[in-house]
Structure formats: C-alpha cells, structure tokens
Amino acid sequence: MRVLTGWVNRLVAFANLKIDRTIWKSQFYEFMRSPKFKHSWRADDLWMEDADCRDVLKIRRLQRRVQKYLELISQDKCKPKEQRRLSTFGELLEDVQSYSMENGLAHFILVIKPEDSDLYKSFYQTRVTKWGGEKIKIGKFPTYNSFEQYIYTCLAEALESGDLFNTARCARKNCGKFIFGERKSKQFCDNNCRWAYNNTREARKRMRRVNAERRRKKGLERIANFS
C-alpha cells in the first residue's frame, strides 16, 4: 500500500502551537484547516462530538507527549549515525502500538480505476490489482473520530513513511521550534533564525574582530603613506 506523506507536517505544527486557553477554539479550527482545501475539514464534527478536543488540559498533555517524542529524535540526531538506536524510541513505538490496539486507527478504502486518471497516476507506489485485462488500485486513507486519534494517525503514518525521523529542532538556541525538512547538519525554522545563529556564533564574532583589525591596519598604512 502507498504510504501517504505530509502527516509529519501536522505533527510539527501541533508541537509548535502556542495553545492559548481563551482562544483555543479558533486555534483548533485554524489548525484543522487544510491548506489545500481552505476549510476546516472535520473540525466541526470533532469539536461537537469529541469532548476531549474542547478540553485544553487534555490537549496540552497530548501536545507535551508529541513534543517529547520530537525532542527525543532531535537529541538522538546529535549522536553519530552508528550510535543511533531505534530502542531510544521504545516508548514512542510502544505508545503508537498500544494506542492502536486499544482505540483503533482507522482507514477507509477507495477503489481507484484507471479512468480516475489523476488519482490513479498519483498512486504510483501502489500495487496494481489485475484481473483479466482490467486493473484497479486500492487506496488506503486514514480517518479519525477524535483529535487524539488524528494525532496518533499522524504519528503512525509519519513513522511508516520514515518522515518522523526527518524532524529536528531549530538549531538556534532559545527558539525551540520543531521543523521538518531536508537532512542538513544545521536546520533552522526560518531565515531570521539562520541569520541570528550565524551572526552570534563565536567563530563569526572572531572573524568580525579579525576583519575590523585588518581594516584598521590598512587605514593606518594609508595614513602613513600620505604623511
């Protein structure tokens, strides 16, 4: 089955959310708003039916759990590759597994025919089921009935796709934002953090001092030539 990517972005966004009790409802709707479809998919249903997602204390507890997992990954990345162990994430793996067993993670199935050409083509990693001369693909889409189930779906999908381990923490101290992206040694949440990091680094400071000294000497030489 094709693994859908993109779930990790939702996890990172949730971990970075500055939850404010007084405006949580609008934050929740904004969070659930699909960037693609520009409306809060399922947000109304969840808000009405899932009492836990209206409970800011429970949401914060869930958020801390996600933050802890992402932090663990970020820390383990500082180790050399050969020292990294999946067992470091034992609690995370166990958590996703037991959540799924106790509460269930659900999927709905879509039979995709070649005449649904765009969708059919976009499921390029999916096995083609053939019978006679005809072909179909079976699309598997996660679905959820509570906000917690949604977050665990994100965790499970991001684990399955491997994206979860491409998360990190912004390299600038005091920022603390989680990010997802290409695997560089130093990652930043935005250009401001990159700039701030590069311009406060000790090495850079020293370079500036050296350059200033060089300029000063050049200036002195020039004055000496005039006199």
State which of residues 99, 170, 178, 187 lies at the interface with Zn ion (CB under 5 A): 170
Over the window 125 to 164, marking each residue x when it contacts Zn ion by CB under 5 A and - when it does not, the resulting string is ----------------------------------------
State which of residues 19, 175, 194, 197 lies at the interface with Zn ion (CB under 5 A): 175
Q: What is the CA radius of gyration of the chain?
A: 25
**Least Å distance between CB 203 and Zn ion?**
19
DSSP 75: H
Separation CA 147–CA 170 (nearest Å):
26
Phi, then psi, of 103 in degrees rounded to 5: -110, -20
**Least Å distance between CB 187 and Zn ion?**
9
User: Considering the rule CB under 5 A, would residue 168 count as an interface residue with Zn ion?
Assistant: no
User: Considering the rule CB under 5 A, would residue 193 count as an interface residue with Zn ion?
Assistant: yes
Q: Is 60 exposed, middle or buried (0-12, 13-18, 19+ CB in 10 A)?
A: middle
> Alpha helices of the chain — where are they, by DSSP H?
7-16, 24-32, 43-49, 56-76, 90-103, 117-122, 147-161, 191-200, 202-226
User: Considering the rule CB under 5 A, would residue 15 count as an interface residue with Zn ion?
Assistant: no
**Least Å distance between CB 162 and Zn ion?**
24
The residue ranges that bind Zn ion (CB under 5 A) are 170, 172, 175, 177, 189, 193
